[in-house]
Amino acid sequence: MTGNWVANGLSQDLPAHGVMPGQWQGTDLAIWRAGSGRVSAWKDRCPHRGMRLSHGFVRGETLACIYHGWVYGTDGTCRHIPAHPAMQPPASIRAESFQVREQDGLIWVGPATAANAPPAVEGMVAVRSITVLATHEEVAAAAPELTATAPECLRGAVVAGPAAVDLCLVLQPKAGATVVHALAGAGADLVAASRWLETLRRTVESGVAA
């Protein structure tokens, strides 16, 4: 693994004031983008009553839990408890934070201790994320025209529709599945690339089923 960074989605799929679920090595995450554009990733659990924070809502630079509206700042500390509007919440109430790096159109999540950088995927545009019910190895085996440029990155030219497309697949392991975050060379036919991914998934999953 490259410093335990795990790709958790494409930047284009998390707009400002958005929150989405994620996963890091089996731990469920709430990943959210503040109004300023900053992305945070936390354990998907409000310390108050255990509600998933990925169901919450973003106002400005804060994420609030949908259950009781507890408000957390980008550093994970609780800023406000609506049931007690005049009270300053104790600093000990905080969501458990992960590190986030947003680069090359991808959102990477790592542990607080992760040191080195996630692998670079420069000069490409995002296609889409697609979940395949198969392992990393099975996905890789179904796309022999791609080669591994990093443990979680497959890259190469594929024939998608009428033309060749330069593709990079960044693989995210999940329980029972692999999420493929796909990027393509600039100017690529994105519809053709998306349909190539659909075919890849059908190929892999029919092979797995047989």
Partner 1 sequence: MISPQVLNEWYPVGMIAQVGPWPGRLTGLLGAPVVIFTTGQGAIVVQSARGVPLAVTLAYGHVWACPGTPAHALFALPEATQPGRRLVDCGVVRVKCSPLRAVENFLDIAHFPFVHTDILGAEPHTEVNRYEVQIREEVDEVWATKVHFYQPQAAKSAAGGIVTDYMYRVAAPTAAVLYKTCPNRTDEWDVIGIFVQPLTEELCDVYPYMALFDDVTPLAELIHFQQMIFLQDRSILENQIPRLLPLDPGMEIPTQADLTSVAYRRWLKRRGLTYGAQRVAA
Partner 2 sequence: MILHDYVLSASCYKVRLLAALLGVRLELVAVDFHPGRAHKSVVFRALNPAGSLPVLVDGDLVLTESTAMLVYLAQMAGPDWLGATDATSAARVQHWLAFSARLNGSLGLARLHDMLHFAADIDSARAAGHQCLREIEAHLSEARFAGRIFLEGDRPTIADIACFPNIALAPDGGVELNDYPSLRLWQRAIRSLPRFIEMPGIHRLHELAPAPERGTTA
Instruction: For residue 15, state whether it binds partner 2 (rule: CB under 8 A).
Output: yes
To which residue do tokens 């300053």 refer? 88
Instruction: For residue 86, state whether it binds partner 2 (rule: CB under 8 A).
Output: yes
User: Measuring CA to CA, which residue among 50, 173, 27 is closest to residue 97?
Assistant: 27
Is 126 in contact with 167 (CB distance < 8 Å)? no
Please choose, out of 8-16, 109-117, 141-149, 157-165, the segment that lies near partner 2 by the rule CB under 8 A. Answer: 8-16
Closest to partner 2 by CB, 64 or 143: 64
Is 110 in contact with 103 (CB distance < 8 Å)? no
Instruction: For residue 55, state whether it binds partner 1 (rule: CB under 8 A).
Output: yes
Q: Which of 16, 20, 66, 130 binds partner 1 (CB under 8 A)?
A: 66
What strand order describes the sheet that includes 18-24? 6-10, 106-110, 97-103, 39-43, 27-33, 18-24
Select from partner 2, partner 1, none the partner in contact with residue 208, using the beta carbon and a kind-dependent cut-off of 5 to 8 Å: none
Is 165 in contact with 185 (CB distance < 8 Å)? yes
User: Measuring CA to CA, which residue among 87, 199, 183, 102 is closest to residue 142?
Assistant: 199
Instruction: For residue 59, state whether it binds partner 1 (rule: CB under 8 A).
Output: no
Instruction: For residue 84, state whether it binds partner 1 (rule: CB under 8 A).
Output: yes
Per CB under 8 A, residues contacting partner 2 are 9-10, 12-13, 15, 17-18, 20-21, 55, 57-60, 62, 64, 66, 69, 71, 80, 85-86, 128-129, 131, 177, 179, 190-191, 194-195, 198
Per CB under 8 A, residues contacting partner 1 are 28, 44-45, 47-52, 55, 65-69, 81-85, 87, 93
